[in-house]
Amino acid sequence: MQIKCPLCSKITTWEENPFKPFCSERCKMIDLGRWAAEDYKIEANMQDEDQDSNSQVMHDPQKEGEDS
Ligand SMILES: [Zn+2]
């Protein structure tokens, strides 16, 4: 199967390609660095919502206890 590298648009193959979906390690590393930067941004934003998700987690065990 032929695929196009999402970074440089070079045609490469899916099979036997350790760097898929990229054409090379270089493109994969560039994309990883890009995602790492995105994750950092998302994590910073999610800190505001931490308190909400914590209260939801506390309700879940009670529900399971009622079921069983
Ligand atoms: Zn590439």
Maximum C-alpha span of the chain: 56
The structural domain count of the chain equals: 1
Residue 56 in domain = no
- Cβ neighbours for 18, distance < 8 A, ≥ 6 positions apart: 25
Report the predicted TM-score, pTM, of the whole model to 2 decimal places.
Answer: 0.52
Residue 54 in domain = no
Residue 68 in domain = no
Phi-psi region of 39 (alpha: psi -120 to 50; beta: other; left: phi over 0): alpha
Q: What is the pLDDT of residue 41?
A: 79
Q: What is the pLDDT of residue 68?
A: 64
CATH number at residue 10: 3.30.50.10
What is the whole-number distance in angstroms between the Cα of residue 66 and the centre of ligand 1?
53
Give tens-digit pLDDT for 8-64: 999 999 999 999 999 999 999 999 898 888 887 777 777 666 666 555 566 666 666
Q: What is the pLDDT of residue 61?
A: 63
How far apart (Å, rounded) are the C-alpha atoms in residues 17 and 13? 6
Can you give the residue range of the structural domain that contains 17? 1-47
Q: What are the residues whose beta carbon lies below 5 Å from ligand 1 (ion)?
A: 5, 7-8, 10, 23, 27
